Structure 1
Amino acid sequence: MNDDLTFDPRGPVLLVGGYGTVGAELARLAAPHWPLLLAGRTVERGQRLAQETGARLVRWDLGDPKPFREAVRAVVTVVNDPDDRVLRAAVRGQVPYVDVARWTARMQRAATVAALLRPTAPVLLSSAWMGGVASLSAAALAEDLGGADTVEVAIRWDLKDRAGADSVEFMDRFGLDFEVVQGGRRHTIMPLSDTRTVRIGAVPTKVTRFDTPEQFTLPLTLGTTTATTRIGFSSASSTSALLVAKRLGFFRWGRGERFTPARRALLYAPGEGGTAQLRVDVSHRGRTLTATVTDPAGQAHLTALGGLLALQRVLGADGAPAPTGVVFPEQTPIPTKVAEQFATYGVTMDTTSARAADEALHTAGRAA
C-alpha cells in the first residue's frame, strides 16, 4: 500500500470522512473558504452534501489496500485512522495535517509516528474534546491568568443531540483505566470515578471521570500539574444508570465484541439535535477563572468548529504563521482571540470567576 498525497497550495482541502456527522458540518464551515475534496467509503452518501458545498467526491476506504493519490493543500481526518494511513501519506507528501478523531492512546501513537517521520509540514493533533475546543478554552483562560496550574473540564452531553458513531467509539472505553497527572504526579485511575456535581451553564450536572486527550497533553504543553476531564448526561437518571453499570462491573466483563451492541445501546441514542456545553476551570497561583462554552447547534457543529480552527492554524489562515512539526490545539499563538473565533460561528464562551459559578450552583441547590 503506497498512498500518495502531495502538497498543492492551490488544491482542495481533503476531508477524510467528509460526509459523516461531523465531517458534513466541517464541510459546510470550510466551503466558503477553500475548495473541498470529500473522501469516504461510500461516495453515494455524499452526493447531496457535495451539491450543497460545491465539493468533489472521491472514494477512500481506509480498510481497502488500493492506493489513494491526490494533490491537496491540507488534509483533515474526521474518522478513525487506525493504521495511521492518512497521517503517513500527509507527512510523506509534506501536506498540512489535522486529526480530530483520535482517543488518547491513538493520539499518543500518532504523535510518535509523526515525530519519527520528521514532518516538514504542520501536524496538528486536535482530538481533545470537541475537536480541541476544550484545550483552546483552557489556553485562553491560562493566558488571562499567566499560567495554568490546574485545568478541570466538565462536559454536559445532551441526549437530544446528534452523534456520530466515532464519537461513541471514543466514549466506549469506560472499562479501561487511564493515566492522568494529579498534583504533578502520574496516576492510573478508573473511569467513572470521582463523581461530583458542577454547574454547567444554568444546570447543575453530575459528572464523572473519563479518558480524553487533553488530560495527556495539557501537562506537557501548558505545564499543568493537574488535568481532569469529567462527563455527564443531560439526564441525571442516565448518568446514574451509567454509574450503576460501572458498579456492576459491566464495562469490565462486557468489553468484548459480543457485548458491543449492549454497550452502544447504553451510550448511543442520538436525537435530532441539542445544545453542546462544557465548563473549563483554570487555576494559577491562587486565582481561578471559569469559562462555559455553549453551542446551540450541538456537539457535531462544535467539533467541526474545532476542526475548522485547526485547519486555519495549519494553513496560517488565522492571522498567525503556521506552526512546524507536531503541535496540539492549546499551543495556539493567539489565545486572546479564542472567544472571538468561537463567536464568529455562533458559539459563546462566557468567562467568570469560579467562586461566582459555584455560588450560583449552591443557590440553585437551595432553591430546589
Structure 2
Amino acid sequence: MGLPKTLRILIAGGYGHVGSNIAGHIRRKYPNIELVLCGRHPEKGEQQAIRLGNAESKYLDLTEDFNLSSFGDIDLIIAALQDPENVLIEAAIAHGLAHISITKLADELAPVIFLLQQGASESRIVLADHWQAGILTLVAKDTAAQFSKIDHIETACLYDTEDPIGPMIAAQLDSFVGRALLRRNRKWEWLDATENVRSLKLSDGSSIDAYPMGTLDVPSLAAISNSPNVRFDISIGTSIGRNKGEKASHDLYIDIEGTLLSGEPAKIRTVVSDPEGQSHLTALGALLATEAVLGLGGHSAPEKGGLYLPETIVSTPIALTRLKEFGVVITHINL
C-alpha cells in the first residue's frame, strides 16, 4: 500500500486579511497540507509562506490567462477574493477539482449553477458565500432544531469599524446596503435596503439601524426551516468586545420565533461573537467547508461531484466544536 497523497490547496487572495486567516487556520489543524498563496503581489505573501511552512506564494491575476497547471497538482481551490468572471470555478469544474467560494451574493450565482448542470462533473463546488462563509447559517440551523414550527428568523451582523478589513471588503461595503433579498409572508422580495431598515437591539440593551442584504443565509435558512419570514441585516456599531474594553469583535445575532418541540411558544436569541474579528470568523467558515469537502476533521468527503452548501456538507456538531476550539463565544437567550 502506497503512502497517502499529500493534499495541496490553492488559496486565491491567500495573503489578504481573510485569505491569510484561512491559511493560518488550515495550517493550525493540518501541518502536512501544502498551501499555495496566490495574488497579484506574491512578494507580499513570501514571509507568510515561510512562517506557515510547507507553503509558497505565487502570482495570480484573474484578468490574465489562467493556467492551473502552473500551480502544481491542486486538490482544492479557495477563492478568498472577487472572481466576477468565475475563472476559478470554471477551472475547477474543467479539471474535476473541489472549489470553495466565499464572496458572492445571491443574485450572482445563476451562471455557476447552470454551468455545473451541463454534464457530469467530478467537481465538488461549495457555495460558502453566506455571511462569514456559512457560520451564521450553521449556528442558526442548530438553534432551529429546537423548534417544531418557525414563524420568524431575523439574523444580523454587527460590524465594528475598529475591526480591520482588507481592500476587498472595503470596496464592497457600499454595495452591501443596496438591493436586498428577504422572505416576507412566504413571498420572495428583492427590495431597496435603505427603505427597509429595522431596529436591532444589541446585547448591551441599545438599538441600532440594520439594513437587509442579499446573502445566501436567507434562502438557506428558509429552506432549512420553512419559515415564512427570513431576513439578514448588516449594522455598524460598537461590538461586544469593545463594550468590554477589549478589541473589536465580530458579532452575529440570530432571533428565531415559533413553537418549540415541546409545543410551547418561544423566541430564542443566539449571539455568536468572535473576539478576533470578522476575518478570523470568515476563515473559520472556510476551514469547515475545507474539512467537509476533503473529508477531514471527522467529516466524510462527498462521494460524488455536485453543488454543496455549508449546511448540506458541514456537520453541525463538528462546526460548533471547532468554533469553541478557536475561541468563538455562542450564547443563547430566551426573549
Interval of TM-score (by shorter of Structure 1 and Structure 2): 0.7 to 0.9
3-state SS, counterpart of residue 31 of structure 1: helix
Does the alignment pair 1:30 with 2:31?
no
Instruction: Check whether the contact 2:197–2:212 (CA below 8 A) recurs between aligned residues.
Output: no
3-state SS, counterpart of residue 88 of structure 1: helix
Q: Among 264, 268, 277, which residue is 2:251 paired with?
A: 277
Q: Where do 5+ consecutive residues of structure 1 fail to align?
A: 1-7, 237-272, 356-368
Task: Give the distance between the partners of 1:147 and 1:50, measured in 2 at CA.
Answer: 49
Q: CA deviation at 1:222?
A: 4.1
Q: Among 117, 124, 127, which residue is 1:125 paired with?
A: 127
Does the alignment pair 1:157 with 2:159?
yes
Q: Among 77, 82, 85, which residue is 2:84 paired with?
A: 82
- Return 288-297 or 149-158, whichever deviates more: 149-158
Q: CA deviation at 1:9?
A: 4.7
- Return 297-306 or 118-127, whichever deviates more: 118-127
Percent of aligned pairs with the same residue? 22
Q: Among 4, 7, 12, which residue is 1:16 paired with?
A: 12
Q: Among 222, 226, 229, which residue is 2:229 paired with?
A: 226
1:293 alignment partner in structure 2:
272
Tell me: CA distance 1:337–1:35, structure 2 relative to 1, closer, same or farther (3 Å).
same
3-state SS, counterpart of residue 73 of structure 2: strand
3-state SS, counterpart of residue 72 of structure 1: coil
Tell me: CA distance 1:186–1:352, structure 2 relative to 1, closer, same or farther (3 Å).
same
Q: What letter matches 1:351 in structure 2?
A: H
Does the alignment pair 1:72 with 2:74?
yes
3-state SS, counterpart of residue 44 of structure 2: helix
Question: Following superposition of structure 1 onto structure 2, how do residues 183-194 of structure 1 map, counting pairs within 5 Å?
Answer: 183-194=185-196
Does the alignment pair 1:317 with 2:316?
no
Q: What letter matches 1:340 in structure 2?
A: T
Tell me: CA distance 1:169–1:150, structure 2 relative to 1, closer, same or farther (3 Å).
farther
Tell me: CA distance 1:204–1:322, structure 2 relative to 1, closer, same or farther (3 Å).
farther
Question: Following superposition of structure 1 onto structure 2, how do residues 188-203 of structure 1 map, counting pairs within 5 Å?
Answer: 188-202=190-204
3-state SS, counterpart of residue 303 of structure 1: helix
> Runs of at least 4 residues of structure 1 off by over 6 A?
none
Q: What letter matches 1:130 in structure 2?
A: Q
| Structure with a larger share of its residues in strand | 2
Instruction: State the superposition RMSD in angstroms.
Output: 2.4
Task: Give the distance between the partners of 2:149 and 2:12, measured in 1 at CA.
Answer: 35
Q: What letter matches 1:123 in structure 2?
A: I
Instruction: Check whether the contact 2:298–2:318 (CA below 8 A) recurs between aligned residues.
Output: no
Tell me: CA distance 1:175–1:156, structure 2 relative to 1, closer, same or farther (3 Å).
closer
Q: What letter matches 1:11 in structure 2?
A: L
Task: Give the distance between the partners of 2:62 and 2:156, measured in 1 at CA.
Answer: 33
1:61 alignment partner in structure 2:
61
Q: CA deviation at 1:44?
A: 0.6
Q: CA deviation at 1:221?
A: 4.5
Q: What letter matches 2:134 in structure 1?
A: G
Q: CA deviation at 1:155?
A: 1.3
Question: Following superposition of structure 1 onto structure 2, how do residues 349-360 of structure 1 map, counting pairs within 5 Å?
Answer: 349-353=330-334, 355=335
Tell me: CA distance 1:149–1:88, structure 2 relative to 1, closer, same or farther (3 Å).
farther
Q: Where do 5+ consecutive residues of structure 2 fail to align?
A: 240-246, 260-264
Tell me: CA distance 1:208–1:117, structure 2 relative to 1, closer, same or farther (3 Å).
farther
Does the alignment pair 1:335 with 2:316?
yes
Q: What letter matches 1:73 in structure 2?
A: D
1:246-303 Cα offsets, whole Å, 9 max, x none, are xxxxxxxxxxxxxxxxxxxxxxxxxxx6211111122343433221000111111011
Structure 2 length-normalised TM: 0.85
Task: Give the distance between the partners of 1:210 and 1:143, measured in 2 at CA.
Answer: 24
Task: Give the distance between the partners of 1:95 and 1:112, measured in 2 at CA.
Answer: 17
